Structure 1
Amino acid sequence: MTFFKTTFYYSALVCLLISSFISNANPPKEIFWEDLIPKNHVQIDTQTQANHDGSEQNWVQPDLDAPIVKELNGQSVSLPGFVVPLEGDSEVITEFLLVPYFGACIHVPPPPPNQIVHVTIKGGVPIESLYDAIVVTGIISTESWSGEIAQTGYKIKAVGVAPFEL
């Protein structure tokens, strides 16, 4: 092996070890849904107020101006929740809403935007059951997203999705 190839391989190995060390030194911050609400904001509890009578008012998303926590912007986080699929096929999904409880946005009115996260994951991820909670890991942004079923206060570019375990 020539000097340049040897030097290249050793440099690549050192870079790989350093990046592995750095990524392990700063694991994602575990956050939960209450962490997405500013400390002094009183939030409407849409889950306990939901009913299934089919009235139009029941399906309107409340508190569209719900404040977000700007300090979260750009942080590496992990957040548990439930999936509302947006894009994908029968094998994998590439875009979804992460919501705090099962049925949000589908069976009951959507929560306020600061309680919904728009998630994209390059290459997609298989989701076996929409009834099961997952944990999404990635970089969160305080950028909003709006679609047919809801408006969100946050986005996550996911690097991983795993089953939620207690």
Structure 2
Amino acid sequence: MRTAWALIALFWAALASAESRPVQDLPWEALIPAGFSYADLAAQIEAPTAPLSSLADDDPEAQRLYSAMRDALAQAPVVDAYDGLSVRIAGFVVPLEQDEDRVLSFLLVPYYGACIHTPPPPANQIIHVETQGGFKTPGLDEPVYVTGTLRTERHDADLGSAGYTLYAGSMTPYL
């Protein structure tokens, strides 16, 4: 147990050191690799056996298509060049873990309602955010800036798959 705590302390110390580097403002579009095409993801999904408009939500064919679509979106590629950079990015918080009025880990998404409404965005448009101690929970409809070290680490959650993980040092209102 002592070793685990030592590793955690070293990680957060490295994060604090990384945050002393210049912070790069990062737009969401930059997280999509050059040449990426949604058509490439769509090609991974077997065509429906019936017109989509004829399928009810609980139809097995609709469920198969939705599952295939989520799987394809979860595999969207990331931009490896951003691994380890100190960044600031604006987005909306989708809480994963909370403690009273603080959010401890969350998904950061580019638009309001992403991950809550289906389907979720592709993995290169979802960032899993880890905090040390959490941040005051904003409203789900309130955009924020999150600053920290970005890693190309995947994280799968019930609400969607993130292609990036951000080890956050701060979260501020988007102004």
Which bracket does the TM-score occupy, shorter chain normalised? 0.7 to 0.9
AA aligned opposite 1:98? L
Partners of 2:138 and 2:83 in 1: CA distance: 30
The C-alpha deviation readout for 1:59-81, integer Å capped at 9, x for no partner, is: 85243221110000000001111
Larger Rg: 1
Contact map agreement 2:91 2:143 (CA 8 A) in 1: yes
Q: Unpaired runs of 5+ in structure 2? A: 1-15, 40-55, 58-62
Partners of 2:26 and 2:142 in 1: CA distance: 19
Contact map agreement 2:144 2:172 (CA 8 A) in 1: yes
AA aligned opposite 1:127? T
What is the Cα deviation at residue 58 of structure 1? 5.7
> SS at 2:100's partner residue?
coil
In the other structure, the counterpart of 1:159 is 169
> SS at 2:73's partner residue?
coil
What is the Cα deviation at residue 148 of structure 1? 1.7
In the other structure, the counterpart of 1:124 is 134
Contact map agreement 1:81 1:135 (CA 8 A) in 2: yes
Partners of 1:115 and 1:35 in 2: CA distance: 10
The C-alpha deviation readout for 1:107-138, integer Å capped at 9, x for no partner, is: 23100111100001101101231101001100
In the other structure, the counterpart of 2:45 is none
AA aligned opposite 1:146? D
In the other structure, the counterpart of 1:74 is 84
In the other structure, the counterpart of 1:11 is none
Is residue 101 of structure 1 aligned with residue 96 of structure 2?
Answer: no
Relative to the length of structure 2, the TM-score reads: 0.70
Contact map agreement 2:74 2:160 (CA 8 A) in 1: no
Contact map agreement 1:91 1:126 (CA 8 A) in 2: yes
AA aligned opposite 1:33? W
Contact map agreement 1:58 1:108 (CA 8 A) in 2: no
Is residue 143 of structure 1 aligned with residue 150 of structure 2?
Answer: no
AA aligned opposite 1:69? V
> SS at 1:114's partner residue?
helix
Matches for 1:1-166 after TM superposition, within 5 Å: 23=20, 26-43=21-38, 55=57, 56=63, 57=65, 60-61=69-70, 62-165=72-175
Partners of 2:74 and 2:158 in 1: CA distance: 14
Contact map agreement 2:145 2:171 (CA 8 A) in 1: yes
